[in-house]
Amino acid sequence: MFIDLLIMLVMAYGFGFLYYGLYRNISARVHGRFGPSLAQSFYDSIKLFTKDTSTDFGWMFFAGPIIMASGAILTVLFIPYFNHGERLVGLSPYGNLIVVLYFMVLGPLGNALGVGSHGNPFGAMGITRGLTRLLGLEMPFYIAVVGLMIANESADIGTIMANQAETYNIIAHPLLFIAAFISFLGFLGKSPFDVVGAPQEVYSGPAVEFGGKFLALALSQSAIFSFAKLLLMVDLFLGGADSLWDLILKTFVLFVASVFVGNVYGRFTTAQSVDFLLKVPTVIAIVGLLFV
Amino acid sequence: MQKGFVAYNNEQKSLEAETEGIKNSQTLIQKAMNWFSARSMFVVAYGTGCGAIEMPPVFTSRYDIERLGVVGVATPRQADIMIVSGYCSLKTLRRVIRTYEQMSEPKYVIALGSCTINGGMYWDSYNTIKKLEEYIGVDMYVAGCMPRPEALIEGFVKLQESIRNNTIQPGYVKYREDYAYYQANQEKLLGKETQPVYEEDYAGMNLS
Ligand code: SF4
């Protein structure tokens, strides 16, 4: 059990950063550049762990990234990696989808607590943007997830995966998938929903006062968290994974789809993104709910 | 001529022998740390002078320095490298020093353009500083007025090499150890109020 948890974490860290490296690489090719090496994000994170931290705004400032990291780690541990239910199921027998949804918002809240203690206006702006966006994101995602729960008469991720043995939910409930996918793009924080840390507007937003080890922690948790969200989407809509290759293939396809969307569309403003999220995907999700 | 050359050669050899000594005294962990800090550099680009115009091409498609692991960041807290791109007026110098002091170690400075080396074409200006290294620790100079993007990339590559092989004493170490010297220089120009004056005990910190 303990070894399983460790493997899950290491895999999430590894794949999270690998995919982030791929994201940078693909974006570079879209811009007509070569881009950094695939392992660049690992180098960045290890280098940041070896750096000093020059800021101190009291213990709450340091607790912020730690709460964020625990949110991400707990999320990934409650999502089973495979659908046969033998290995790498983590803590999922002890908690269901509702627990996962709860842990998913722990990160932004921890972030807000940490940022609140340093009083940098750009941090506060970033957090306000993040929480406003979260408001828009949660609505369609929760409706889609509730739809799945009703269809499967269960809130257990394992059961939802097992019920997809014949048809994947992406085919059985396409509208729910579209709604969930759009808010998944927002959860990933990539363009067009990258309002939180927009470097040209709010100077990296919530991370503005973080440097060194705590920035490294924030980066690592975001890599782990991204992989957790990919996993959740694969589990809920693509029937989970049989084997490691299946897992890599499915998460990769989903990831590449999100990268392409991100590279085609420019950034929404905060108001636009909430407007869009509350209109388009929410309506799609409600219509999808009617078909369940 | 010949004699001078031999003397120069000997001096060069003794310098190299010294750096060899530093190189061999690194522990494995230090080596790894140096390798990683050379491989990943976050840059805060302080566009002070006209040389700033050469930085955008370095970071975008034409020269794409992200290949070397160099990316721009928006705040000095996250940065490893500061590029000071040209002349500094007295007013700018204050900001440069504050930015430099906000960066967390290990940190490095690249000074871009002749103005930062000896004043360049502003050598007799009443209003700009002449040698940047008298005020903050500088690790790499890129000469030229203005230097081409290739020159800046060359500067980065050289700096990465010297960090990896530990062949220079980093500017921040000098700054820390010799702070009295730097502070005296700063105060000569800017007066006593170089450092920000905090009036209250902010968030429980003792700032006096
Ligand atoms: S070195 Fe030349 S280009 Fe650079 S800041 Fe000075 S005058 Fe301008």
Q: Which atom of ligand 1 is nearest to the CA of B145?
A: 2
Q: Is the predicted pLDDT of residue A37 greater than 70, yes or no?
A: yes
Q: Is the predicted pLDDT of residue B69 greater than 80, yes or no?
A: yes
Nearest CB to A204 within list B73, B106, B204: B73
Mutation test residue for ligand 1: of B54, B87, B122, the one with most atoms within 8 Å of CB? B87
For chain A, the straight-line distance linking the first and the last C-alpha, in angstroms and rounded, comes to: 36
Q: Is the predicted pLDDT of residue B14 greater than 70, yes or no?
A: no
Q: Is the predicted pLDDT of residue A230 greater than 50, yes or no?
A: yes
* Inside any domain, residue B10: no
Give the model confidence (pLDDT) of B140-153 as tens digits. 999 988 889 999 99
Select from B75, B80, B105 the residue whose CB has the most chain A CBs within 10 Å, as the one to mutate to test that interface.
B75
Contact A53 B104 (CB under 8 A): yes
| DSSP code, position B46 | E
Q: What is the mean pLDDT of residues A146-162?
A: 86
Is the C-beta atom of B146 inside 6 A of ligand 1? yes
- d(CA B131, CA B115) in angstroms, rounded, equals 8
Q: What is the mean pLDDT of residues A192-198?
A: 76
* Inside any domain, residue B30: no
Is the C-beta atom of B22 inside 6 A of ligand 1? no
Q: Is the predicted pLDDT of residue A222 greater than 50, yes or no?
A: yes
Q: What is the mean pLDDT of residues B126-134?
A: 88
* Inside any domain, residue B203: no
Question: How deeply is B148 buried, as exposed, middle or buried, from its count of CB atoms within 10 A (0-12, 13-18, 19+)?
Answer: middle
Domain holding A151, by residue range, is 2-291
User: In the prediction, which pLDDT does B110 show?
Assistant: 92
* Inside any domain, residue B66: yes
Q: pTM for the full model?
A: 0.84
Ligand 1 centroid to B144 CA: how many Å? 8
Is the C-beta atom of B147 inside 6 A of ligand 1? no
* Inside any domain, residue B47: yes
Helical segments of A238-269, H only: 244-264
* Inside any domain, residue B72: yes
pLDDT confidence band for B108 (50 / 70 / 90): very high
CA-wise closest residue to B136 among B196, B93, B197, B192: B93
Q: Is the predicted pLDDT of residue B130 greater than 80, yes or no?
A: yes
Q: Is the predicted pLDDT of residue B34 greater than 50, yes or no?
A: yes
The token pair at A195 is 């309002």
Q: In this predicted structure, which of A205-219, A239-253, B115-129 has the lowest mean pLDDT?
A: A205-219
Phi and psi angles of residue A160, each rounded to the nearest 5 degrees, phi first? -60, -40
Nearest CB to B104 within list A51, A118, A203: A51
Q: How many domains, chain B?
A: 1
Is the C-beta atom of B68 inside 6 A of ligand 1? no
Give the model confidence (pLDDT) of A115-124 as tens digits. 888 778 888 8
Ligand 1 centroid to A236 CA: how many Å? 58
- d(CA A115, CA A126) in angstroms, rounded, equals 9
Domain holding B54, by residue range, is 41-151+158-196
* Inside any domain, residue B4: no
Give the model confidence (pLDDT) of A247-282 as tens digits. 899 999 998 888 888 888 878 888 888 888 888 888
Mean pLDDT of chain B: 82
Contact B80 A207 (CB under 8 A): no
- d(CA A153, CA A135) in angstroms, rounded, equals 26
Among all chains, which residue has been given the structure tokens 């789809």? A257
Nearest CA in chain A to B29: A50
Among all chains, which residue has been given the structure tokens 């991400």? A72
CA distance B101 to chain A (A): 9
User: In the prediction, which pLDDT does B4 show?
Assistant: 56
Return the percent helix, strand and coil in chain B, to nearest 5.
Answer: 55, 10, 35
Mean pLDDT of chain A: 85
Q: How far is CA A151 from the centre of its chain?
A: 24
CATH code of the domain covering residue B72: 3.40.50.12280
- d(CA B43, CA B82) in angstroms, rounded, equals 6
Integer-rounded Cα radius of gyration of chain A: 18
Neighbours of A242 (CB within 10 A): 12
Q: Is the predicted pLDDT of residue A159 greater than 80, yes or no?
A: yes
* Inside any domain, residue B19: no
Q: How many domains, chain A?
A: 1
Select from B78, B101, B207 the residue whose CB has the most chain A CBs within 10 Å, as the one to mutate to test that interface.
B78
Phi and psi angles of residue A266, each rounded to the nearest 5 degrees, phi first? -80, 180
